[in-house]
């Protein structure tokens, strides 16, 4: 197992006999050596682990749909999480949407249904409101965390630090006739801030669609972030999270996860972590302008005929100058931001993926094929394209992209991460398609078949127990 370190909270949990997930979270004597964890409290291995070893399995305290808004996914039934085209107002009268009677009567819905009804939802009979749907996580958190055995997590888990009104609570307040009690509002506000600081994206399949939800996992919440994490995780059909080692972990070493996308370049990861989790990551990868030789963040030099690449002088400082490795040309962060923005919108504008067109665009705009946003686009092509519909050029480009991305993962030192499993699986399917299209001689066929077997073994070892091995466009971890 692992220990909680560096915290009076450990003592608090132990004093209060908190038991979660079948085991007791106990205080740990870290011998006064808190330096092992660089980011407040964290998890530390108490024995050695090999890649693939299961560290722990965590059950969510709260699972909730993501809220609606311009950039949010379409609403789902908050009980079974399907994207029903015609969600209807709960017949119980709570004003939340459900996909049908069984979900309306589901025990998992009864507490929140009763609570919202008691608050006088501002919806017509049989209707549901987006505002109440937006507030569902606050209501759900209240029903789980108020007065129950898990109420102590309100004190224990880290909260997003903000004095701003909490969107979900405000949405709820606007859409009910009664005034929330002071205590309920406090609990909901704290719980939403806890969700913001700790929740994981849990992706599940419903009726062949990927549904992105958020889940609060009490044990996993103590894992700090690294851009070269030593664990990976997956979710089963009941949202149980299994955390496995992706790299060897030694006794006493901190257990880390990622809160961002593994193949994003440093500037984008840093920005994401700062805005979503309010900290600046100072991990070894973030400190290295060349990201372990991958040059993932690099831009081509803007000086004509210079073959150099521009790198940040100090990648941890977003106002740092960038400099060409060959001609030493300095570029300001403002210019870099504008280059990144232009590349992003260019890459986003590509709908139908044609390798030749992509190459022309990259040449015309002097963009690197393994640079910011281009790698994302290539990954999107891997996820979205259907092998049987690709022409030969596209199929071979997909194969090349899979191979190059696996190489990137290797260079970044990401070990047996989930992305490696997913790309290996996809590459095996691409090779299968290649095999099926031509009459290969026996020797070549054997080589391909061996490649397929090895890739399948690799992906199975990583994705075993994963309820979601079909690939998600946003699934970069």
Using CB under 6 A, list all residues that contact ligand SAM. 39-42, 158, 197-198, 221-222, 224-226, 277-279, 281
Token digits of residue 157: 């888990």
CB of 41 to ligand SAM, least distance (A): 3
CB of 71 to ligand SAM, least distance (A): 22
Place of tokens 């964290």: 42
CB of 282 to ligand SAM, least distance (A): 6
3-state SS, residue 410 = helix
CB of 40 to ligand SAM, least distance (A): 3
Token digits of residue 280: 């600046």
Find out whether 215 and 165 touch, Cβ atoms under 8 Å: no
Please provide residue 176's backbone torsions phi and psi, each rounded to the nearest 5 degrees: -130, 155
Token digits of residue 389: 């519909």
CB of 5 to ligand SAM, least distance (A): 10
Nearer to ligand SAM, 40 or 148 (CB): 40
d(CA 97, CA 278): 33
Find out whether 263 and 228 touch, Cβ atoms under 8 Å: no
CB of 254 to ligand SAM, least distance (A): 9
Place of tokens 């399907």: 82
Nearer to ligand SAM, 113 or 286 (CB): 286
Nearer to ligand SAM, 194 or 427 (CB): 194
Alpha helices (H) in 101-161, listed in sequence order: 101-104, 107-118, 130-134, 136-145, 153-156
Find out whether 193 and 152 touch, Cβ atoms under 8 Å: no
Nearer to ligand SAM, 198 or 424 (CB): 198
CB of 257 to ligand SAM, least distance (A): 9
Nearer to ligand SAM, 39 or 346 (CB): 39
d(CA 61, CA 282): 30
Nearer to ligand SAM, 5 or 331 (CB): 5
CB of 221 to ligand SAM, least distance (A): 5
Nearer to ligand SAM, 259 or 397 (CB): 259
For the chain, the residue count is 477
Task: State the SS3 of 191-222.
Answer: HHHHHHHHCEEEEEEECCEEEEEEEECCCHHH
d(CA 28, CA 15): 12
d(CA 382, CA 21): 37
Nearer to ligand SAM, 198 or 477 (CB): 198
């Amino acid at each position: 197992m692992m220990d909680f370190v560096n915290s009076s909270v450990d003592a608090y949990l132990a004093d209060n006999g908190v038991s979660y997930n079948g085991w007791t979270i106990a205080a740990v004597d870290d011998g006064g050596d808190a330096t092992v964890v660089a980011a407040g409290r964290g998890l530390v291995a108490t024995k050695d682990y090999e890649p693939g070893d299961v560290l722990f399995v965590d059950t969510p305290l709260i699972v909730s749909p993501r809220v609606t808004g311009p950039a949010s996914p379409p609403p789902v039934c908050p009980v079974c999480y399907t994207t029903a085209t015609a969600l209807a107002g709960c017949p119980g009268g709570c004003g939340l949407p459900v996909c049908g009677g069984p979900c309306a009567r589901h025990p998992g819905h009864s507490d929140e249904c009763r609570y919202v009804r008691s608050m006088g939802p501002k919806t017509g009979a049989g209707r549901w409101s987006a505002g109440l749907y937006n507030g569902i996580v606050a209501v759900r958190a209240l029903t789980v965390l108020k007065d129950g055995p898990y109420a102590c997590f309100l004190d224990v888990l880290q909260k997003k630090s903000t004095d701003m009104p909490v969107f979900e609570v405000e949405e709820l307040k606007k859409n009910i006739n009664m005034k929330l009690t002071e205590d309920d509002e406090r609990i909901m506000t704290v719980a939403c801030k806890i969700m913001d600081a700790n929740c994981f994206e849990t992706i599940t399949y419903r009726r062949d669609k990927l549904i992105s939800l958020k889940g609060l996992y009490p044990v996993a919440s103590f894992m700090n972030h690294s851009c070269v994490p030593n664990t990976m995780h997956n979710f089963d059909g009941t949202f149980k999270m299994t955390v496995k080692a992706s790299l060897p972990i030694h006794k006493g070493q901190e257990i880390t996860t990622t809160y961002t996308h593994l193949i994003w370049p440093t500037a984008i990861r840093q920005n994401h972590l700062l805005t979503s989790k309010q900290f600046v990551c100072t991990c070894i990868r973030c400190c290295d302008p060349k990201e372990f030789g991958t040059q993932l963040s690099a831009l081509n030099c803007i000086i004509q005929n210079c073959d150099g690449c521009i790198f940040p002088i100090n990648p941890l400082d977003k106002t740092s100058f960038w400099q060409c490795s060959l001609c030493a040309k300095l570029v300001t962060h403002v210019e870099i931001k504008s280059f990144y923005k232009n590349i992003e919108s260019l890459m986003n504008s590509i709908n139908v993926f044609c390798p030749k067109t992509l190459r022309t665009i990259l040449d015309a705009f002097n963009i690197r094929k393994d640079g910011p946003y281009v790698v994302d686009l290539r990954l999107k092509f891997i996820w979205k394209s259907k092998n049987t519909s690709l022409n030969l050029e596209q199929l071979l480009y997909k194969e090349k992209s899979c191979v190059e991305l696996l190489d990137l993962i290797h260079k970044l030192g990401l070990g047996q991460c989930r992305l490696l499993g997913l790309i290996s699986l996809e590459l095996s399917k691409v090779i299968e398609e290649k095999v099926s299209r031509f009459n290969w001689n026996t020797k070549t066929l054997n080589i391909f078949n061996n490649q397929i077997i090895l890739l399948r073994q690799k992906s199975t070892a990583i994705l075993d127990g994963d309820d979601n091995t079909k690939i998600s466009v946003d699934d970069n971890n």
